């Protein structure tokens, strides 16, 4: 690589100016850390909310309901006012480990090197594309994710389709209905693999109101059209196949941390979350690098990520002031039967970090959440949940455990109706 | 109407190399392609391996074209800024039976003049590829098998052809034609064109074109689909060498290889079908490929899938190339370039120019050819984002800059459709598949591509 045009230093470098990165940076400034730099690859800060044209954002942070773009602007303003320096259009491409972290960024002005004492990775999540879901058929124009749809609608005022099929019933799937409305599109149907929606069934009034039929236990088995989508084939619960005409397919949800940087710089990645492994202070396996926001857990709300970023900001400040317990020895938390992921994945002894373990169940479940260490049950909590619902348990319960812990679910579970599981 | 010396039908790998060869030899060339861009047919999806010909039929035209094409590619690639990933390949025996077959494969390689092959014991295999399953019993190392960019060479060849006066017409499907004894008059969807000689490089439609314009075809295309799965870039740290299976009669089999773009891919399948246009992907086959990849390299189980695609081989009822000359009709058919055309294209062009000369044609070759350089897309060489002034990064996964997009949309041989833009820049081809960039690309390309990304304005 060519020589950098500029070398600069920072106490803390935050990667990503979404809710988590901005709140961590703001917190660090408030706690008196002098030199806090946020680098963001997009030309505008604010992260995903920049193009979530729908409410509600901001209740937790600003005490009122806002649209995503207004919320994103507020977060940026607040960070800048607190003395955070924000570098836009700047992509972190690598981190080398020396006495400090040597971070290389690409920018229009050339390569930039930042020498930082600490870094926080807050690069967020995206949705799983069609390819990773291995969906059969042609590969036409008009097959996209909600993130792209939102950018069409709110950043570029364009429509990628008028009559899409919507795949998924997560919160983001519901918000996509509003975005479709915004661009004058009327979805032909919304489909869900499972027999129940991913969101709470009471939230499904929205498609009904908008006249979008919802079909459960239904799989997308073929996409047809060249160069643009012309139709799809659905596998219905009774085993019938049905062709539906449409001009687009919107794959919603099935979130995936944007963790390629984290992986390429050698951090341990948790196969459950797809994001970096952290301890209760959000330290990754390279203890000078922290992580915050949805890179850690697919997926939480902006408000949640913002609050988490704030906590992580204070952990980093503590660390710079020599007040965090050593990162070395940790017990491991691993997901057992019925659990998809557990964050944090490591707990070191001493100090107070994140207050809760965050988990997700793999299936719709009602029963108990059980933690076991060395084959012995150490706690049991009642549990009713579904795959996209947040499960919390106080970290304090595990703080003094002596050996690795497995967390699993016991009780009645409903699995995907197709035995071979797909992630559509 | 001016009469060209040759009309080449089809801007696939073969047609593009053909246009370049004939132009450099001094012929006035017109290239007619029905798609909105080059590489719209068989050539848009392949394994991107530059083959040595070690396993090709000894003494065949295919072998000599592959070896001539290989040599010419190495000679000219620097001129055009084209990459070469020097991986080498291992033909791996996974069973006793396959192990027994290595002898004859090695003998064939030597017979084909590929003399740097050598056998690797299972310990040597492990030393070279620690992540390869320990079930690998023995292998034949073929150091000369390499990986290239499957698209940029052909763009370079067309840019060079155009710079020397070749006329390149997209959206020009040759629908009919008449030969008056000296000149062909071709009816295309982009108007009428005339040329003294026609070279049929129509790939999957080669037999149809012969049937339509000559009255009969001497072969029949039997499309053979190959599906692929592309792994995330994290996989490129896991594997260095191309992993080839011991081939069967019908196909080279499923390959595991890096790409110049920094990924690893597994494929292709080999599935006969009648349809010449639809190359669909199918979940079951893709899962089969994933299982096969994980069987060979268990660590791939933890790597995400970035992309899935499929290509159609222009296979025929016979194995070899179907190159033939109709002297009485001023017509050359270059058909059935089934599974080695990426490698052989430059060699095929040399071979066909030889046939053309034997028909009695001669031109004054271009002296000092222009050498248009194409943007580098290979990850192991400097990319555009490493140089200041790129504007912004549009596609974050593949680090494609605004400057690259603009260059691909303008100048000589601009992108004609979204596929063409992707092949020129890699935009939208990374792990997010357009989550972050599709909408911006819709705006940037609005009104400039054959099939627009957006159907209209919002609202
Ligand atoms: C399509 C979609 C819709 C959503 N809708 C909602 C909603 O309606 N309500 C809600 O509460 N939540 C929603 N979410 C969840 C969303 O993830 C959170 O709201 C919130 O954005 C998470 O904040 P974050 O800071 O973790 O990540 P993000 O907001 O994603 O911010 C990450 C930032 O990092 C930047 N970045 C990434 N890599 C690099 C790099 N290498 N160098 C420099 N910068 C980099 C990105 O450009 C981005 O700006 C949605 C998510 C998606 C994907
Ligand atoms: C799965 C797969 C893997 C492969 N792997 C490799 C590899 O690793 N290495 C290697 O060397 N080779 C490989 N190949 C082989 C290689 O891709 C082909 O040999 C090559 O692409 C054939 O090119 P072509 O120009 O003959 O055909 P095409 O690319 O099909 O070109 C023909 C063109 O003619 C146009 N056309 C058709 N009819 C008309 C008409 N009437 N008027 C105008 N235009 C027309 C079409 O639109 C098309 O663009 C692979 C092929 C496949 C499918």
Question: Count of alpha carbons within 13 Å of B79, Cβ hemisphere only?
Answer: 15
Distances (CA, A) of B98 to A44, A108, B114, B250: 57, 53, 21, 16
Tokens of A197: 């929606």
B241 lines ligand 2 (CB under 6 A): no
For residue A416, the model assigns a pLDDT of: 40
Would the CB atoms of A160 and B438 count as touching at under 8 Å?
A: yes
* pTM to 2 decimal places: 0.97
Measured between alpha carbons, how far is A25 from A10 in angstroms, rounded to an integer? 12
Would the CB atoms of B435 and A147 count as touching at under 8 Å?
A: yes
Q: Do the beta carbons of residue A92 and residue A100 sit within 8 Å?
A: no
Helices B13-24 + B341-358 axis angle, to 10:
40
Q: Which of A2, A130, A263 sits opposite B433 (nearest CB)?
A: A130
The alpha-carbon gap from A149 to the nearest alpha carbon of chain B, in Å, equals 7
Q: Which of A108, A139, A161 sits opposite B392 (nearest CB)?
A: A108
> Where does ligand 1 bind, in terms of residues with CB under 6 Å?
A 15-21, 39-42, 47-49, 52, 91-92, 122-127, 146-147, 150, 172, 175, 258, 261, 293-294, 299, 301-302, 305
Measured between alpha carbons, how far is A343 from A331 in angstroms, rounded to an integer? 13
Tokens of A306: 């913002």
For residue B58, the model assigns a pLDDT of: 95
The separation between CA B129 and the C-alpha centre of its own chain, rounded to angstroms, equals: 27
Distance A190 CA to ligand 1 centre (A): 24
Would the CB atoms of A148 and B454 count as touching at under 8 Å?
A: no
Q: What is the pLDDT tens value at each position of chain A, 424 positions in all?
A: 667 889 999 999 999 999 999 999 999 999 999 999 999 999 999 999 999 998 899 998 999 999 999 999 999 999 999 999 999 999 999 999 999 999 999 999 999 999 999 999 999 999 999 999 999 999 999 999 999 999 999 999 999 999 999 999 999 999 999 999 999 999 999 999 999 999 999 999 999 999 999 999 999 999 999 999 999 999 999 999 999 999 999 999 999 999 999 999 999 999 999 999 999 999 999 999 999 999 999 999 999 999 999 999 999 999 999 999 999 889 999 999 999 999 999 999 888 899 999 999 998 889 999 999 988 999 999 999 888 889 999 999 888 888 999 999 998 776 543 322 222 2
The Cα angle at residue A31 between residues A29 and A33, in degrees rounded to 5: 55
Whether the ipTM is more than 0.90: the answer is yes
The alpha-carbon gap from A287 to the nearest alpha carbon of chain B, in Å, equals 22
Q: Which residues of B touch A44 (CB under 8 A)?
A: none
The alpha-carbon gap from A110 to the nearest alpha carbon of chain B, in Å, equals 4
| Nearest residue of B to residue A272, measured between CA atoms | B302
The Cα angle at residue B232 between residues B143 and A415, in degrees rounded to 5: 130
3-state SS record for chain B: CCEEEEEEECCCHHHHHHHHHHHHCCCCEEEECCCCCCCCCHHHCCCCEECCCCCCCCCCHHHHHHHHHHHHHHHHHHHHCCCCECCCEEEEECCHHHHHHHHHHHHHHHHCCCCCCEEEEHHHHHHHCCCCCCCCCEEEEECCCEECCCCHHHHHHHHHHHHCCCEEECCCCEEEEEECCCCEEEEECCEEEEEEEEEECCHHHHHHHHHHHHCCCCCCECCEEEEEEEECHHHHHCCCCEEEECCCCCCCCCEEEECCCCCEEEECCCEECCCCCCCCECHHHHHHHHHHHHHHCHHHHHCCEEEEEEEEECCECCCCCEEEEEHHHCEEEEECCCCCHHHHHHHHHHHHHHHHHHCCCCCCCCCCCCCCCCCCCCCCCCCHHHCCCCCCEEECCCCEEHHHHHHHHCCCCCCCCHHHHHHHHCCCCCCCCCCCCHHHHHHHHCCCCCCCCCCEECC
Domain locations in chain B? 3-46+151-220+317-358, 89-143+222-313, 384-445
Measured between alpha carbons, how far is B393 from B432 in angstroms, rounded to an integer? 15
Q: Which residues of B touch A259 (CB under 8 A)?
A: none
Answer whether B386 touches A (CB < 8 Å).
yes
Distance A123 CA to ligand 2 centre (A): 40
Distance B16 CA to ligand 2 centre (A): 11
Q: Give residue B27's region: left, alpha or beta (phi > 0; psi -120 to 50).
A: beta
CATH homologous superfamily for the domain B3-46+151-220+317-358: FAD/NAD(P)-binding domain (3.50.50.60)
* Whether residue B458 has a cis bond before it, omega within 30° of 0: no
| Nearest residue of A to residue B40, measured between CA atoms | A227
Answer whether B275 touches A (CB < 8 Å).
no
The separation between CA B394 and the C-alpha centre of its own chain, rounded to angstroms, equals: 26
Partner A, chain B 132-161, Cβ-Cβ below 8 Å: none
Distance A29 CA to ligand 1 centre (A): 22
Measured between alpha carbons, how far is A386 from A193 in angstroms, rounded to an integer? 14
The pick from A123, A177, A388 for probing ligand 1's pocket by mutation, whose C-beta has the most ligand atoms within 8 angstroms, reads A123
Tokens of B105: 């494969």
Q: Which residues of B37-52 are buried (b: 16+ CB within 10 A; e: fewer)?
A: bbbbbbbbbbbbbbbb
* Residue A130, H or E segment: none
Answer whether B327 touches A (CB < 8 Å).
no
Distance A118 CA to ligand 1 centre (A): 21
Measured between alpha carbons, how far is B194 from B177 in angstroms, rounded to an integer? 9
Q: Which of A108, A183, A228 sits opposite B458 (nearest CB)?
A: A183
**Environment class of residue B329 by beta-carbon count within 10 Å: exposed (0-12), middle (13-18) or buried (19+)?**
middle
The alpha-carbon gap from B152 to the nearest alpha carbon of chain A, in Å, equals 22
Q: Which of B286, B387, B434 sits opposite A144 (nearest CB)?
A: B434
List the single best residue of B307, B442, B444, B447 to mutate versus A (max A Cβ within 10 A): B442
End-to-end CA, chain B: 48
Q: Which residues of B touch A106 (CB under 8 A)?
A: 385-386, 393, 399
Q: Which residues of B touch A137 (CB under 8 A)?
A: 280-281
Measured between alpha carbons, how far is B296 from B318 in angstroms, rounded to an integer? 31
The Cα angle at residue B11 between residues B8 and B14, in degrees rounded to 5: 80
Q: Say whether domain B89-143+222-313 belongs to CATH 3.30.9.10.
A: yes
For residue B250, the model assigns a pLDDT of: 66
For residue A414, the model assigns a pLDDT of: 64
Relative to the alpha carbon of B18, which ligand is closest? 2
Distance B211 CA to ligand 2 centre (A): 19
The alpha-carbon gap from B396 to the nearest alpha carbon of chain A, in Å, equals 8
Partner A, chain B 413-432, Cβ-Cβ below 8 Å: 417-418, 431-432
Q: What is the pLDDT tens value at each position of chain B, 459 positions in all?
A: 799 999 999 999 999 999 999 999 999 999 999 999 999 999 999 999 999 999 999 999 999 999 999 999 999 999 999 999 999 999 999 999 999 999 999 999 999 999 999 999 999 999 999 999 999 999 999 999 999 999 999 999 999 999 999 999 999 999 999 999 999 999 999 999 999 999 999 999 999 999 999 999 999 999 999 999 999 999 999 999 999 999 876 677 999 999 999 999 999 999 999 999 999 999 999 999 999 999 999 999 999 999 999 999 999 999 999 999 999 999 999 999 999 999 999 999 999 999 999 999 999 999 999 999 999 999 999 999 999 999 999 999 999 999 999 999 999 999 999 999 999 999 999 999 999 999 999 999 999 999 999 999 998
CA-A302 nearest atom, ligand 1: 19
B10 lines ligand 2 (CB under 6 A): yes
Tokens of A261: 């940087």
Q: Which residues of A touch B234 (CB under 8 A)?
A: 260, 263-264
Q: Which of A93, A136, A142 sits opposite B280 (nearest CB)?
A: A136
Q: How many Cβ pairs within 8 Å bridge chains A and B?
A: 159
Measured between alpha carbons, how far is B156 from B79 in angstroms, rounded to an integer? 10
For residue B325, the model assigns a pLDDT of: 98
Would the CB atoms of B308 and A134 count as touching at under 8 Å?
A: yes
Q: Do domains B3-46+151-220+317-358 and B89-143+222-313 have the same CATH topology?
A: no
Would the CB atoms of A108 and B443 count as touching at under 8 Å?
A: no
List the single best residue of A148, A153, A263, A276 to mutate versus B (max B Cβ within 10 A): A148
B342 lines ligand 2 (CB under 6 A): yes
Distance A83 CA to ligand 1 centre (A): 22
């Amino acid at each position: 690589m060519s020589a950098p045009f500029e070398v600069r230093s920072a106490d803390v470098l935050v990667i990503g100016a979404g809710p988590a990165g901005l709140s961590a940076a703001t917190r660090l400034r408030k706690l008196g850390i002098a030199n806090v730099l946020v680098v963001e690859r997009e030309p505008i800060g604010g992260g995903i909310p920049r193009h979530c044209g729908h409410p509600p954002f901001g209740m937790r942070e600003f005490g009122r309901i806002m649209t995503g773009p207004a919320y994103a602007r507020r977060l940026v303003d607040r960070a800048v006012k607190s003395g955070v320096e924000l570098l836009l259009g700047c992509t972190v491409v690598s981190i080398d480990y020396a006495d400090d972290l040597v971070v290389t960024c690409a920018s229009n002005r050339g390569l930039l090197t930042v020498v930082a004492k600490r870094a926080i990775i807050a690069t967020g999540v995206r949705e799983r594309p069609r390819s990773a879901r291995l969906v059969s058929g042609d590969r036409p124009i008009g097959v996209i994710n909600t993130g792209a749809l939102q950018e069409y609608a709110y950043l570029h005022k364009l429509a990628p389709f008028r009559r899409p099929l919507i795949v998924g019933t997560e919160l983001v799937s519901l918000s996509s209905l509003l975005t479709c409305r915004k661009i004058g599109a009327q979805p032909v149907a919304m489909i869900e693999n499972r027999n129940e929606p991913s969101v709470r069934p009471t939230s499904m009034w929205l498609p009904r109101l908008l006249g979008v039929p919802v079909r459960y236990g239904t799989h997308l088995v073929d996409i047809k059209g060249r160069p643009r989508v012309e139709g799809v084939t659905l596998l219905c619960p009774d085993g019938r196949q049905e062709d539906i005409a449409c001009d687009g397919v919107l794959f919603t949800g099935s979130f995936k941390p944007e963790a390629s940087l984290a992986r390429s710089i050698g951090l341990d990645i948790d196969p459950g979350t797809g994001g970096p492994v952290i301890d209760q202070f959000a330290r990754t396996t390279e203890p000078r690098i922290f992580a915050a926001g949805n890179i850690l857990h697919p997926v939480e709300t902006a408000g949640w990520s913002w609050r988490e970023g704030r906590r992580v900001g204070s952990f980093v400040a503590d660390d710079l002031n020599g007040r965090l317990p050593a990162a070395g020895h940790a017990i491991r938390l691993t997901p057992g039967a019925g659990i998809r992921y557990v964050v944090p994945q490591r707990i070191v002894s001493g100090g107070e970090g994140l207050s809760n373990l965050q988990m997700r169940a793999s299936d719709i479940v009602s029963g108990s959440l059980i933690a076991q260490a060395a084959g012995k049950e150490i706690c049991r909590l009642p549990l009713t949940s579904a795959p996209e619902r947040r499960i919390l348990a106080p970290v304090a319960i595990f703080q003094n455990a002596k050996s690795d812990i497995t967390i699993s679910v016991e009780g009645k579970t409903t699995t995907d109706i197709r035995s071979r599981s797909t992630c559509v | 109407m001016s009469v060209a010396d040759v009309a080449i039908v089809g801007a696939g790998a073969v047609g593009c190399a053909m246009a370049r060869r004939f132009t450099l030899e001094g012929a006035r060339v017109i290239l007619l392609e029905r798609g909105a861009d080059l590489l719209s047919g068989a050539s848009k999806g392949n394994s991107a391996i530059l083959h040595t010909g070690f396993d090709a039929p000894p003494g065949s035209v295919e072998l000599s074209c592959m070896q001539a094409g290989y040599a010419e590619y190495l000679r000219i690639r620097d001129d055009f800024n084209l990459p070469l990933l020097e991986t080498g390949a291992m033909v791996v025996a996974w069973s006793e039976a396959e192990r027994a077959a290595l002898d004859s494969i090695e003998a064939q390689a030597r017979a084909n003049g590929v003399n740097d092959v050598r056998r690797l014991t299972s310990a040597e295999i492990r030393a070279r590829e620690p992540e390869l399953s320990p079930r690998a019993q023995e292998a034949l190392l073929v150091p000369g098998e390499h990986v290239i960019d499957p698209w940029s060479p052909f763009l370079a060849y067309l840019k060079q052809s155009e710079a020397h006066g070749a006329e390149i017409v997209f959206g020009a499907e040759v629908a009919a034609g008449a030969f008056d004894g000296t000149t062909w008059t071709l009816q295309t969807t982009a108007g009428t064109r005339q040329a003294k000689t026609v070279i049929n490089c129509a790939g999957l439609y080669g037999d149809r074109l012969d049937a339509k314009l000559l009255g009969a075809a001497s072969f029949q295309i039997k499309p053979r689909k190959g599906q692929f799965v592309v792994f995330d870039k994290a996989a490129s740290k896991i594997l260095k060498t191309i992993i080839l299976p011991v081939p069967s009669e019908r196909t080279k089999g499923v390959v595991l290889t890096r790409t110049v773009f920094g990924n690893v891919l597994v494929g292709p399948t080999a599935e006969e079908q009648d349809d010449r246009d639809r190359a669909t992907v199918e979940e079951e086959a893709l899962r089969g490929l994933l299982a096969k990849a994980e069987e060979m390299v268990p660590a791939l189980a933890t790597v995400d899938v970035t992309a899935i695609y499929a290509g159609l081989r222009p296979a025929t009822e016979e194995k070899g190339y179907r190159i033939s000359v109709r002297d009485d009709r001023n017509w050359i058919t270059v058909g059935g370039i089934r599974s080695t055309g990426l490698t052989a294209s430059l060699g095929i062009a040399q071979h066909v120019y030889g046939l053309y000369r034997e028909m009695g044609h001669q031109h004054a070759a271009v002296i000092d050819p222009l050498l248009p350089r194409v943007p580098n897309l290979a990850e192991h060489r400097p990319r555009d984002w490493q140089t200041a002034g790129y504007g912004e990064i549009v596609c974050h996964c593949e680090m494609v800059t605004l400057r690259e997009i603009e260059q691909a949309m303008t100048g000589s041989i601009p992108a004609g459709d979204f596929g063409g833009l992707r092949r020129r820049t890699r935009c939208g081809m990374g792990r997010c598949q357009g989550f972050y960039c599709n909408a911006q690309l819709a705006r940037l390309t609005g009104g400039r591509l054959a099939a627009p990304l957006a159907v209209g304005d919002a609202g």
